[in-house]
Amino acid sequence: MLWTRRLTFYQKILFSLLGFLLLPILAGLIISYWTIKQTVTDKINLSNKQFIELVAKDITKTTDEVVNNSNFLLHDAELLKELSVLKEASTIQTYATYKAMNNISEYFTLLTTRTMHLSTSVSIMNPKGLLLYGIQSEQLYADLRKELSRLPASEGVDASRVYWLGYPKGAETPSRETAPSYYVSRVMKNRSTGELLGTLYYGLPYGYFDQLLGHQVSGTFHLTDAGGAVIYPLGGGAFPNQAGEGTISQSYVLPETGWTLTYTISTGTVTGEVKRTFLFYAALVLLAGMVLMLAAVVYARGLYRPIFQMKSIVNLFSGGNQSVRFPVEGNDEIAQLGYAFNSMLTQISGFIHDIRQEQEDKRVLELQALTAQIRPHFLMNTLNSIKCNLLLTGDTIHSRQLDALMRLLWANMNIRELTTLSEECTLLTHYIQIMQMRSGLEVQLVLALDEASADWQVPRLLLQPLVENALIHGFGGTVDLQEDPEIRVTSTVEDGQWVVQVADNGAGMTGDVLDSLNTRLTGREEVPGSRHIGLVNTYQRLRLAYGAAVNMTVIPGVGIGLIVELRIPLSGDTPHLRHVKREEAPL
């Protein structure tokens, strides 16, 4: 990550310690919190399920009592007989109607006392609206009759069906204060003719539901009928959830009535204790984390102190104080690093001293070189003046000889530069002229250069030592050994190699001497007092210029003399001869 690059080493150590200490603890707390919360939630759900099933059994028992009681009444012949007497009565005008109504009242009082829940009320009304049994107002039952009459005409009023009418609908919305009852209705008909004899009304008081479902400590019950109408609670009595908190709900559908009983509990109630426990331990962890942070800071400073000392020493050392050293303590890895660090500083100090001494020596040499440059230029200018005077007097022979000498001197002054093979051979011509003047040797220089290699670059004065070796050792400085002394320089390209040969028809050498010379050319040790120094130096210059792949061999000539052969690869690790850089030329 890019942002870590901006941190210091000390900050990286500190953050690493804090991360390795605090992150596992925090992760463990969070995982424990969610695990415990999920476990508690599952247990609460299971407990709520068992609780709601228990409450639902009580409600089911009450509704079953209503259904069973109504079924019993619908099949009671004596009751149906009495209802047949009162079916057309709108008022009590005869003794027969009075007696029948009194019998019904006694019958219902005895029956409901033994078989019905104490809180459930039972009433019966004939088809004319006459209340035969019950203590509620006639207006209430008139409203219930209207509610019953709203059933679809196609469905009719079925004696085998229980009608869950709900709360009566009046001008005011039912609430806790009015304490209404939830009404259940069932019609009674003549089993033979199907004639309507009366209507049963069962009232489940709101107080029953409130006593059973209300007054919960941690949650609230909601009871709705099959049509979604609220049975409990009425008057906006929903459980007031805390702002921002969710709820956990568990529902149960009563099989006989289709009612849905829902128990709702706030998640804050469920997880409150878990949160309090978590916050308590989180506070402890935070306190412990602060202590660990302080300990980590102190420990990180202790780890970073040697690095800081090294950094300070490096700054002082780079500022010029080369005597500073790292204080080594103990025998741990930092101490070993300190020993190596001090050794490195000592070596650097020595290198700096050597470099300063070399720079001082170089400055002296540069001054000497600048002074020495004046002398060759003075000599060249003087020789040039003499040459001009010789030309003016008509002495062309000595003028040419002097010109050849000047060119050789100039080549020696610029020996570090590269030249072409053709220019090198021109210098060889001047060298032969001078040697002819010195020794009287009439040596013929023959040049046979391949056109492709004539312009290739070579170190300046590379071939001059080979020609000089042929003059001195091949001809012994005289021409007595050969009537037509000749030195031949050839240049060809063979099998991907540039082959340059310098051949003479001089005295040559024996096989033992020849083998010894070739062995010396391939070695690095010099034999004190040995000859042919020029050949060895030429081979070394050749390797410096073109690499270790070059080869230099001395072989016998055809019949007489010697041949010095140079082989330079044109491919592979050896750079192309036309692209040899000037700085690669030997000094």
- Phi, psi dihedrals of residue 484, rounded to the nearest 5°: -120, 75
Q: What is the pLDDT of residue 184?
A: 85
What pLDDT is stored for residue 401 in this prediction?
78
> Is the per-residue pLDDT at 9 higher than 50?
yes
Which residues have a Cβ under 8 Å from the Cβ of 159 and sit 6 or more positions away?
Answer: 74, 186, 187, 188, 189, 194
Least confident of 98-102, 232-236, 304-308, 385-389: 232-236
Mean pLDDT of 200-205: 84
Residue 491 confidence (pLDDT) above 90: yes
486 SS3 class: strand
Which one has a higher pLDDT value, 446 or 363?
A: 446
Closest to 223 in 3D by CA, of 100, 338, 343, 59: 59
Which of 406, 413, 417 lies closest to 374 in space, CA to CA? 413
Q: What confidence tier does 579 reach under pLDDT thresholds 50, 70, 90?
A: very low
Place of tokens 């309090």: 276
What's the pLDDT band for 154 if we cut at 50, 70, 90? very low
- Residue 531's pLDDT band, with cuts at 50, 70 and 90, is low
Which stretch, 69-73, 151-155, 215-219, has highest mean pLDDT? Answer: 69-73
Residue 378's SS3 state is: helix
Is the pLDDT assigned to residue 583 strictly greater than 50?
no
For 11-267, CATH gives 3.30.450.20
What is the reported pLDDT for 177? 54
* Triad 319, 324, 325: Cα angle to 5°: 130
If you search the block for the tokens 């091949």, which residue do you land on? 474
Rounded mean pLDDT, 197-209: 83
* 321-350 pLDDT tens trace: 888 888 888 777 778 888 888 888 888 888
CATH topology of domain 418-584: Heat Shock Protein 90 (3.30.565)
**Of all residues in the chain, what percent carry a pLDDT higher than 90?**
4
325 phi and psi, to 5 degrees? -140, 160
Stretch 248-268: mean pLDDT: 84
The residues spanned by each domain of the chain are 11-267, 418-584
Give the C-alpha separation, 432 to 440, whole Å.
11
Supply the angle between the helices 95-115 and 77-86 in degrees, to the nearest 10: 140
Q: How far is CA 542 from CA 23, 147, 521, in A?
A: 68, 125, 12
Q: Which amino acid, 294? A: L
Question: Bigger pLDDT: 417 or 457?
Answer: 457
3-state secondary structure of 197: strand
pLDDT attached to residue 566:
92
- Provide the pLDDT for residue 541: 85
Q: Is 257 helix (H, G, I), strand (E, B) or coil?
A: coil
Say what percent of the chain tops pLDDT 70: 80
What is the overall mean pLDDT for the chain? 77
The predicted model gives 386-398 an average pLDDT of 79
Query: Pairing mode, if any, of strands 196-205 and 181-189?
Result: antiparallel
What pLDDT does 133 receive? 81
Sequence-ordered list of residues with C-beta below 8 angstroms from that of 139, at least 6 positions apart, any chain? none
Q: Quick one: pLDDT at residue 501?
A: 92
Rounded average pLDDT over 33-58: 81
**Dihedral in degrees, nearest 10, Cα atoms 265, 268, 273, 275:** 150
Q: Mean pLDDT across the stretch 46-59?
A: 85
Burial of 541-578, coded b for 16+ CB within 10 Å and e otherwise, reads bbeebbeeebbbbbeebeeebbbbebbbbbeeebbebe
* Cα distances (Å, whole numbers) of residue 366 to 156, 356, 361, 377, 380: 131, 15, 9, 17, 21
**Least confident range of 4-13, 49-58, 141-150, 421-430:** 141-150
Structure confidence at residue 575 (pLDDT): 45
The number of beta carbons lying within 10 Å of the beta carbon of residue 466 is: 24
> Given the structure tokens 């140079």, which residue do they identify?
566
Class of residue 67 by CB neighbours under 10 A (exposed 0-12, middle 13-18, buried 19+): middle
On the 0-12 / 13-18 / 19+ scale of CB atoms within 10 A, 184 is: buried
Taking the C-alpha atoms of residue 169 and residue 190, their distance in angstroms, rounded to an integer, is: 30
Cβ-contact 81, 100 below 8 angstroms: no
Kindly report, residue by residue over 472-487, the tens digit of the pLDDT.
888 875 545 567 888 9
**What is the mean pLDDT of the segment spanning 235-239?**
54
